[in-house]
Amino acid sequence: MEITDSQSVICFRVRYLHTPKRIIRYQSVISILRSISRQGLLAVLLALLLPACREPFSPTPEEIPYVRLPETEYSVGCDAGSFQLEVLSNTAWTVTCPEKWVTIDPWQLRFDGDATLQIRLSANTSVSSRSAVLTFEHENGPSSLRITQAAFIPEIEISDPELVFGYRKAEKRLYVQANCTWEAVTDVGWLAIRPVTGLVGRFEMTVTAGTNPGAARTAEIVVKSEGYEFLQTIRVSQEGRSSSGGVEYIDAQGNGRGMGFLVGECIWAEVNCGFHETDYPFGQLYQWGRKSGVGYRDDHFNDISASEVQSIWTGRNEDAPAGAFFLSGEGSRFNYDWILEGSDGYWNSGTEENPVKNGTYDPCPAGWRVPTAYEFRTLMDSDGAQWTEQEGIHGYAVPATDASGVATVLFLSAGGRLNISDGKACDRGVEGYYWTGSASDGTSSYLYFHAGGYSVNGQGGRAGGCLVRCVSE
């Protein structure tokens, strides 16, 4: 068999592992073929040409361009995180993702061959799941990976979902554990919450219940995930005064005068001590430290009884005759006292900050006591307190809340006083004088007010006759 250069070009393929196909022209191997015998040449040609006729230029699987991914679907939780993606390839490729919550690291325009990608995901703060598709483009068509991120599930835990208070002002602490921002709200004014908002994590919350002026009451505090339809409830209950130590004010005639009016955190009696509708409409007047009160000595004040005036009392307090008014004298331990040997603890055996009723001499009924100087200052400093006239009587009106939670007015009449030197009535309808239980070194504090303002003085002579307005213990 003779082979010449004018013969048709014969092509055949030589395969190499992981290399592109190569075409060898006949002319380039003439010298090799001439050195082979005719029989050997025929065998070589048959071996090369016949397979090529059966599968003309068919590439092996290794030669087909590909991008291989370990998975085509990934499911992840709602939290922020990342995972590694091993990409196998024998060609050039690119990857894209339109979702901003997916970040690919390293980020580059083109990859060539195998690569390891770090896929970073931001937290899903929505209550709906979401998906993103990573598209891998190469010359043999696209491949894709779908990432599905679970919906965010807000969680709030309350350490103490049941709070029980007595009727007095008090506070309790609990903890809020949350995986979301939150806020605490309530629709009642007698509860205070601090803080009212919080972030992710564990936070201490303080709940304060104000003094309850009347019957037992309940409320709810809702702790809700901000921006989500999820909440927890703290149930709050507070005892009424009748069930936890509070009692109705009972006057000297045995008549009930209500559960008192709440101003701030103090419950004040609705009438003055010694009140009687006809006999003592302003209440009786008391020398400081005495159990019994007296009436006015001037007939035009229309009190039913007049006090008997006596000189300074030299005996024990409890033996002093009721109905008598004792003039101040220089023979007493301190000038302007009504008793020779007085005591700072006659009405308050405790302190200004922690008063304790001395039941032996305190004129207030059971469950009530003479207020401190601090309590009177707080009362008169209340928003809306003002000099006014009520049913023809001048005095100070202070906004308050009754036992049913209804807004009302606490009224302190300008009932005047009894003069320290002669026991005569004076200043009625013009000025108000109210004793406090606070005392120091033989003098006592008292509230004084008129149309121009008020003050709580600390150096009152104890022989003066002043009004008393009791507060709940």
Domain boundary at 94, 127, 149, which? 149
Would residue 253 count as lying in a domain? no
Lowest mean pLDDT across 39-43, 167-171, 227-231, 247-251? 39-43
Residues 336 and 446 in one domain: yes
Q: Which of 242, 276, 307 is the last residue of a domain?
A: 242
Asked whether residue 436 falls in the same domain as residue 340, the answer is yes
Domain end point (choices 131, 149, 167): 149
pLDDT at position 40: 57
> Which one has a higher pLDDT value, 373 or 141?
373
**Alpha carbons 426 and 423: distance in angstroms, whole number:** 9
**Does 324 reside within a domain?**
yes
Which pLDDT does position 56 carry in this prediction? 52
Same domain, yes or no: 144 and 163 = no
Query: Within this chain, do residues 309 and 268 fall inside the same structural domain, yes or no?
Result: yes
Tell me: pLDDT of 108 over 50: yes
Helix, strand, coil percentages, rounded to 5, for the chain: 10, 40, 50
24 in a structural domain: yes
Same-domain pairing of 293 and 397: yes
User: Average per-residue pLDDT in the chain?
Assistant: 85
Predicted local confidence at residue 93, as pLDDT: 96
pLDDT for position 335: 66
Mean pLDDT over residues 350-365, rounded?
94
Residue 38 banded pLDDT, cuts 50, 70, 90: low
Question: How do residues 232-277 score in pLDDT, each as one tens digit?
Answer: 999 999 988 765 556 789 988 889 998 899 998 899 999 999 998 8
> Across residues 318-325, what is the average pLDDT?
93
Average pLDDT of 165-185?
Answer: 93
The verdict on 334 and 390 lying in the same domain is yes
> At 42, is the pLDDT very low, low, confident or very high (cuts 50, 70, 90)?
low
Residues 400 and 434 in one domain: yes
- Within-domain flag for 256: no
Phi-psi region of 289 (alpha: psi -120 to 50; beta: other; left: phi over 0): left
CATH of the domain at 142: 2.60.40.10
Asked whether residue 171 is assigned to any structural domain, the reply reads: yes
Say whether both 289 and 396 belong to one domain. yes
Residue 263 has what pLDDT?
Answer: 93
Domain count, the chain: 4
Q: Looking at the domain assignment, is residue 252 inside a domain?
A: no
Q: Which residue has the tokens 């009438």?
A: 271
394 vs 230, higher pLDDT: 394
Residue 254 falls within a domain, yes or no? no
Q: 167 with 143, same domain? A: no
307 — pLDDT class (breaks 50, 70, 90)? confident
336 and 323 co-located in one domain:
yes
Same-domain pairing of 180 and 205: yes
Phi then psi for residue 438, to 5 deg, are -85, 135
Mean pLDDT of 441-446: 89
What is the span of the domain harbouring residue 165? Answer: 156-242
The answer to whether position 51 is within a domain reads yes
Assess whether 235 and 276 both reside in one domain: no
Nearest Cα neighbor of 439 from 317, 349, 333 is 349
Q: Which long-range contacts (CB under 8 A, 24 or more apart) does 122-128 make?
A: 122/80, 123/78, 123/79, 123/80, 123/152, 124/78, 124/149, 124/150, 124/151, 124/152, 125/78, 125/152, 126/151, 126/152, 127/151, 127/152, 127/153, 127/154, 127/228, 127/229
In this prediction, residues 221-228 reach a mean pLDDT of 90
Categorize the per-residue pLDDT at 402 as very low, low, confident or very high, splitting at 50, 70 and 90: confident
